[in-house]
Structure 1
């Protein structure tokens, strides 16, 4: 059986520039490929190279007072006030979770 030499650095470079849908499909190639895409160094590179915002919305409601803020681990230079949520319906919206392809 022939040995397979594979350049994981090259795959890192290619996948770190791929869109999220392609990245999701590539995760099923192998366990190693899947693990690569979840490493913090990969996630940071992917966000920078694809201009993807990785942010968490933290919302609290205490004593009738509502407060929201953004937190980020990958894009510290992006101003959270510049993010528009105009695409959300005008009625009350409840976001239950976020995934690598959007809000749920």
Structure 2
């Protein structure tokens, strides 16, 4: 999907705006896209109190742990980890 964004400012150069924009979309693509697609966060039924923020933090933890592994995708890492109840603890470094 092509998206066009117009930015108007008097406090930044074009190069600074381009760097900011690239940094924003890098985060969007690395984290939020995975949370939206792999974890289907937008379909979550958790909407009470602090629980949505807690679940987002747990998803971020899972993404961070699996990015350090040797899997090609987060989805593949989740499938691999789910096959054995000891693997999540091993991925977190909690077992020997």
Shorter-normalised TM-score: what interval?
A: under 0.3
Higher helix share: 2
* TM-score (normalised: structure 2): 0.23
Instruction: Provide TM-score, normalisation by structure 1.
Output: 0.21
